């Protein structure tokens, strides 16, 4: 058993890979080895994995229903105890259960923003970079205009226009998230646009759309995805901020930012109501930040020093 494991390890770390697949897997394994040495990054990875698990198994983990009130006479604003590890809120709901279910909302926001913003950024960036000239100037000007607004403020304005709600919050955050990805994708495209293999494909008569979608986008994808990962903590904080201002998820949804806003009224006498969901936001965004930091260290050793 240990024999096969050590030989697999050898196969991965060999200096003379026999195939491209072996080389690529070996490279990934080496990256993983370096990454594993970064203790903080591993903590981050652990937190993120935990978030996903909690979201998947929320039904099993949460002891109470997150939306239905408990006994309003006896169970309101109870301090943390064995029965209610994070206490209860003003509607006698178990805060721990709400935080657990809130992980689903957080994960959904992060995932949807990534799914919406990444393609927009890729499309704008690769198109601008591939065609150059006026297309480039116009698209990049638009990108810069979006970058000129502070992110939260622009998201605020969009949500104000679209109406509050978690879907609109997601759309607003996505609209404000794509510009940096577009810039990155453009920069990557510029470096590959004039390479010989792209020229070869062009000579074969491939259309621009085909070249961009089939050859340019895949090459930009990995760096954009890394950048999106680095942004996840920011997305979570923006979403929580919108929730706190009452513009994100609406009650009674257990969104962490909105829960803090609700707990604010009882802050001085019942501190746990606002504190607990805040710890959850903090932990999760710290997790994403640690993970992103570690990724950056591994993948761009020169940039971080």
Partner 1 sequence: MRAPSAFLWQVTKLLATLALTFIGLLLVTFLIGRIVPVDPVLAVVGDRASQSVYDKAYIELGLDKPLYEQFWIYMTKMVTGDLGQSFLTKKDIADDILRVFPATLELATVGILIGTVLGLPLGVLAAVKKGKLADQLVRVLGLVGYSAPIFWLGLLGLLVFYAKLGWVAGPGRIDIGYEYSVTQTTGLLLIDSAMQGQWDAFRNVVSHIILPASLLGYFSMAYISRMTRSFMLNELAQEYITTARVKGVPEWRIIWIHALRNAAVPLVTVIALSYASLLEGSVLTETVFAWPGLGQYLTNSLQNADMNAVLGGTMVIGVIFVGLNLLSDLLYTLLDPRVRRRG
Residue recorded with tokens 């604010």: 264
Q: Where are the alpha helices (DSSP H) in the chain?
A: 2-13, 20-37, 39-56, 58-61, 95-131, 133-148, 151-162, 166-193, 196-203, 208-211, 217-244, 256-263, 272-299, 301-304
Closer of 25 and 245 to partner 1 (Cβ): 245
Contacts of 203 (CB under 8 A, 6+ apart): none
Least spacing, CB of residue 32 vs partner 1, in Å: 21
Compare residues 30 and 264 and give the one whose CB is closer to partner 1: 264
Residue closer to partner 1 (CB basis): 220 or 262: 262
Q: What are phi and psi of 67, to 5 degrees?
A: -110, -30
| 98 contacts 66 by C-beta, under 8 angstroms | yes
Return the SS3 of 94.
strand
Give me the least distance between CB of 36 and partner 1, in Å please.
18
Closer residue to partner 1 (CB): 54 or 260: 260
What's the chain's Rg over C-alpha atoms? 23
Residue 145 Cβ, how far from partner 1 at the closest point, in Å?
3
CB of 13: closest distance to partner 1 in angstroms? Answer: 25
Q: Is 87 left (phi over 0), alpha (psi -120 to 50) or beta?
A: left
Query: By C-beta, is 127 or 176 nearer to partner 1?
Result: 176
- The footprint of partner 1 (CB under 8 A) covers 40, 141-142, 144-146, 148-154, 156-158, 160-163, 233, 237, 240-241, 244-247, 257, 260, 264, 267-268, 271, 274-275, 278, 281-282, 285-286, 288-290, 293, 303-305
Residue written as token pair 């198994």: 57
**Residues for the chain: how many in total?**
305
Nearer to partner 1, 24 or 264 (CB): 264
Q: What is the closest distance, in whole angstroms, from the C-beta atom of residue 230 to partner 1 in the complex?
A: 11
Least distance to partner 1, CB of residue 128, Å: 16
């Amino acid at each position: 058993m240990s024999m096969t494991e050590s030989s697999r390890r050898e196969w991965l770390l060999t200096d003379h890979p026999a195939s491209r697949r072996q080389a690529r897997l070996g490279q990934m394994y080496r990256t993983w080895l370096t990454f594993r040495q970064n203790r903080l990054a591993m903590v981050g990875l652990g937190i993120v994995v935990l978030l996903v698990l909690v979201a998947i198994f929320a039904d099993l983990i949460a002891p109470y229903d997150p939306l239905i009130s408990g006994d309003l006479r006896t169970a309101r604003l109870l301090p943390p105890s064995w029965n209610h590890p994070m206490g209860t809120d003003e509607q006698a709901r178990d805060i721990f259960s709400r935080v657990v279910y809130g992980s689903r909302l957080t994960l959904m926001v992060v995932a949807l923003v990534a799914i919406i913003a990444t393609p927009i950024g890729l499309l704008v960036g690769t198109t601008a970079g591939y065609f150059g000239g006026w297309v480039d100037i116009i698209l990049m000007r638009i990108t810069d205009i979006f970058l000129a607004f502070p992110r939260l403020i622009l998201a605020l304005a969009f949500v104000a226009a679209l109406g509050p709600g978690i879907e609109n919050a997601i759309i607003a955050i996505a609209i404000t998230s794509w510009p940096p990805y577009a810039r990155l994708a453009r920069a990557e495209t510029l470096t590959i646009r004039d390479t010989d293999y792209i020229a070869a494909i062009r000579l074969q008569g491939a259309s621009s759309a085909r070249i961009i979608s089939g050859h340019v986008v895949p090459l930009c994808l990995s760096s954009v995805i890394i950048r999106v990962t680095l942004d996840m903590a920011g997305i979570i904080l923006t979403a929580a901020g919108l929730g706190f201002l009452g513009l994100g998820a609406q009650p009674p949804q257990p969104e962490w930012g909105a829960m803090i806003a609700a707990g604010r009224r009882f802050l001085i006498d019942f501190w746990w109501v606002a504190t607990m969901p805040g710890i959850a936001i903090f932990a999760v965004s710290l997790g994403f930040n640690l993970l992103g930091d570690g990724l950056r260290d591994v993948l761009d050793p020169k940039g971080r020093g």
